[in-house]
Each structure stands twice: as C-alpha cells, then as structure tokens.
C-alpha cells in the first residue's frame, strides 16, 4: 500500500462493446477519507464504478485494492473483500421486503454471520427503514430506496464504499439526509469513493477530488482547492 491509498486506479480504459467511455483514468482513494469523482452526465463516472465493482471488464488498466491487483476478481470476491458498490439508480430488489433487501447485502459468507447486528445498525441509522421493514422495496419513495441501497451496502461490512450518484433524483431534504449519513460514515472512519453530479456538495465533503471529463481525469486536488478553482466554478458550480 503506497502512501496510505486503499484504492489505486491506473490507466483504466474501456466501455460497452465498441463504445469506448474511458480513455485512461488514474486516481487514488486515501484510506479513511472521502474521495470524490465529479463530472457531468456521460463523463464516465458510472462506467468507472462498474469496473471497480467488477460488473464490467476494462480493456486496459489496473485496479489495486489494499495493494493487491483485483482485476480478475469476480464481483462476489470484491464484496467479500470489502469493496462494495451502492449503484446509481439504487437497484433495490423491488418485490422483496426492505428486510430481505438488507439481508441480501449480507449474503456473502463473510458478512452473513453478522446479519443481526448489521440490521440493528442500519435500522438505528435509518429509523424509516425499520418502520417499513415488511414493505416491498418497490413501494418506497426514491429517498427511502436510496437509504435502503446505502443500508444494503453497509450490510456487506465494507472497507471501501463506492457511492454512485447517491443524490440523483432526490428531493433536497432527502439529499441532505443522505449526505449527512455519508458524512457520519466518513467521521466513523469509513473510506468512501463518491461519484456525483452534485459537484458543490461533494467537493465540500471530499478530502481528495477528481474531475472526470470525456473519460479522463481533467483536474485533481483537494476538495477545497477545486471548490476555489475558477474553471470548476464556471463549468460545474454556475458561478
């Protein structure tokens, strides 16, 4: 592990079939911190996240997690090692209850023995989910589904939480709630990679930030530096 980075990505490239989305992306996520991957729609944030989770094979580049190359690992192996994705669009299991969704977060052999304490933690953090534990996930509001997706990710006992567009499509009050939860998690020592279109909010939270444009990193620095960067202000913050 070099320089305390939990995740190091080098030269990541590829896409879907003939469509190349990423053209060599490099970044690192420091242990115990929030790193943000910001950029507009279509910049390649979700593609990057899918490759990190093992859902999509890159055509080039390496992903090192805890100092180990995980490129050939299956999604299940990555989850077992604590590399856990909370996907864009939530992707909850719509016809299953809230509790079944959470149980599925702990379906891996490592997390399963800790299901009961995991449920207690998640219900403690999101009392709304506890009230709706027997309700089908498909009947929840968008914000509640985002809580559920985040809770499901926590059930996997992550070391690095990959949060893909957690604020997308949510009402402002829900965005605040979700970002509060993200801040709390980081405060408790969780390492987080946050991908967001909500550039302002993410940069405020992030220790380290990368601006992704057209499948490559255009800018990087501390969140505060990028917040003060004239180009970022013009392109993403509407200042």
Residues that bind other proteins (CB under 8 A): 17, 53-55, 57, 74-76, 78-80, 84-85, 87, 91-96, 100, 103-105, 107-108, 111-112, 138-139, 152, 156
Give 152 or 208: the residue with its C-beta nearer to other proteins. Answer: 152
- Give the residue carrying structure tokens 């509407």: 238
| Shortest distance in whole angstroms from residue 145 CB to other proteins | 9
Give 95 or 131: the residue with its C-beta nearer to other proteins. Answer: 95
User: Shortest CA distance to 212 belongs to which of 233, 230, 236, 192?
Assistant: 236
| Tokens coding 56 | 């999509």
| Shortest distance in whole angstroms from residue 163 CB to other proteins | 12
Q: How far apart are CA 118 and CA 101, in angstroms?
A: 12
Give 5 or 106: the residue with its C-beta nearer to other proteins. Answer: 106
Give 1 or 57: the residue with its C-beta nearer to other proteins. Answer: 57
208: enclosing H helix or E strand: strand 208-213
| Shortest distance in whole angstroms from residue 142 CB to other proteins | 10
What SS3 state is found at 59?
Answer: coil
| Shortest distance in whole angstroms from residue 10 CB to other proteins | 23
Q: Please report, for residues 85, 118, 150, the alpha-carbon distance to residue 110 in angstroms, rounded to integers and kept in the order given.
A: 16, 12, 19
């Amino acid at each position: 592990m070099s320089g305390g980075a939990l995740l190091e990505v080098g030269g990541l490239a590829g896409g879907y079939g003939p469509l190349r989305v990423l053209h060599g992306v490099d970044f690192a996520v420091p242990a115990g911190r929030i790193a943000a991957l910001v950029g507009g729609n279509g910049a390649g944030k979700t593609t990057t996240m899918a490759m990190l989770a093992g859902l999509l094979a890159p055509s080039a580049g390496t992903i090192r997690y805890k100092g180990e190359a995980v490129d050939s690992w299956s999604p299940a192996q990555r989850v077992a090692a604590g590399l856990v994705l909370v996907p864009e669009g939530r992707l909850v299991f719509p016809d299953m209850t809230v509790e079944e969704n959470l149980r599925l977060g702990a379906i891996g052999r490592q997390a399963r023995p800790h299901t009961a304490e995991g449920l207690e933690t998640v219900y403690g953090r999101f009392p709304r989910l506890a009230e709706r534990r027997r309700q089908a996930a498909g009947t929840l509001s968008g914000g509640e589904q985002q809580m559920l997706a985040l809770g499901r990710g926590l059930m996997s006992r992550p070391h690095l939480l990959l949060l893909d567009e957690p604020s997308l499509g949510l009402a402002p009050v829900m965005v605040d709630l979700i970002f509060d939860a993200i801040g709390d998690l980081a405060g408790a020592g969780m390492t987080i990679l946050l991908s967001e279109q909500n550039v302002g909010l993410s940069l405020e939270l992030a220790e380290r930030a990368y601006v992704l444009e057209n499948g490559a990193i255009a800018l990087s620095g501390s969140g505060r530096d990028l917040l003060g960067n004239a180009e970022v202000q013009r392109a993403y913050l509407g200042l």
